[in-house]
Structure 1
Amino acid sequence: MKALIVSDSHGLTMELQILKDRHQHEVDIMLHCGDSELAITSKEMSGFSGVRGNCDYDSNYPNDMPIPFGGKQILLTHGHLYNVKMTLMNLRYRAEEVGANIVCFGHSHIADAELIDNILFINPGSIRLPKMRKERTYAILEIINNEAIVTYYDLDGNSVDQLTLRTSL
């Protein structure tokens, strides 16, 4: 199974449509980790499961969303309510509460994936305002049996190989 993961698009519309057009037929689910700054009913957000970030004013977005995926459980959240710019500990506790093996979050605009205490944390970075890298990034998570492969791409669809993570779940 494959998931497209994007975050912190901050009002971009054409770019979200490009990602949908590029990947919608190869992924099983499309996730937006918040700060789209778009209405949940917008054309650009159709097809995405999305959550509310600190810059989202549409209260129809949930703060968190548990999603079953490939025999695993994803916790989709923005991260601002868990202080992710300082620590992932609060987010780890929330993942444990909902039984999540994978957490997809944004807020910091820093692309990274790491396994902590058998929980895979994925931040796709930002397709508008990246931090710590020049590339505007998003990620694709693939689950094959008990292996997770997180591949990052720039907005043009080129893989950012330095960020790729393969790990057992």
Structure 2
Amino acid sequence: MKALILSDSHGWTNEVKEILDRHRTEVDIIFHCGDSELELEHSALAGARVVKGNCDFGADFPDEIQEEVEGIFFYVTHGHLYNVKMTTDPLSYRAEEVGANVACFGHTHIATSFEHNGVIYINPGSIKLPLGRRTRTYAIFESANDESKVTFHQQDDGEIVEELTAVYK
């Protein structure tokens, strides 16, 4: 099972479309963790499940998505409602409450993944305005044979950012 996860594209359309087209045939689901600043039906988001971020004014996106894909239960939110710039504790409470295996979020613009209490957390960073490392990134989550892997990719060419890759068993 593979999931493409991106966030914080802040109005970019061509770049979002390029990323989705680059990976569309190899993933089972696509999540956008908010702050797309696009309309619900915008063609750049075709095929993506999208949540509402703090910069998505007037957008008719949900605040969260709960979705099971091939036995993996995803919880997706932007993160601003859980104060993720200060702590991930409220997010972790919600992820555990809904029984998530994977929790995806954005808002901080910092690419990271980690495991806490059996839940894998993924922030794909920002494809437009990254913080921390200056690389514009998105993520791919892959699960097979009782092993999960998160790879981060450069927005412009899809190259893997090796130092951010993580494997969880």
Please give the per-residue CA displacement for 1:115-167, whole angstroms capped at 9, x wherever unaligned: 01111000000000000111100000001032110000001111100000100
Note if contact 1:40-1:58 (Cα within 8 Å) is conserved in structure 2: no
**3-state DSSP class of the match of 2:85?**
coil
Corresponding residue for residue 23 of structure 1: 23
Residues 1-169 of structure 1 correspond to what in structure 2 (within 5 A)?
1-155=1-155, 156-168=157-169
Mapped contact 1:4–1:141 kept (Cα < 8 A): yes
Unaligned regions of 5+ residues in structure 2, if any?
Answer: none
C-alpha distance in 2, partners of 1:121/1:96? 11
Query: Equivalents in 2 of 1:98, 1:109: separation in Å?
Result: 24
CA distance in 1, matches of 2:118, 2:70: 16
How many residues end up aligned between the 2 structures? 168
Partner secondary structure for residue 91 of structure 2: helix
- 2:140 is paired with a residue whose SS is strand
Q: CA RMSD in A?
A: 0.8
In 2: Cα distance, 1:67 partner to 1:146 partner: 19
Does the Cα contact within 8 Å between 1:77 and 1:106 map onto a contact in 2?
Answer: yes
Among the aligned pairs, what percent are the same residue? 51
Could you tell me how far apart the structure 1 residues matched to 2:147 and 2:61 are?
A: 30
TM-fit CA distance, 1:68: 0.3
Q: TM-score under structure 2 normalisation?
A: 0.97
**Runs of 4 or more above 2 Å deviation:** none
* Structure 1: gaps (5+ residues): none
1:70 partner letter: E
| Cα deviations by residue, 1:14-48 (Å, 9 ceiling, x for unpaired) | 00110111100001111100000000111011110
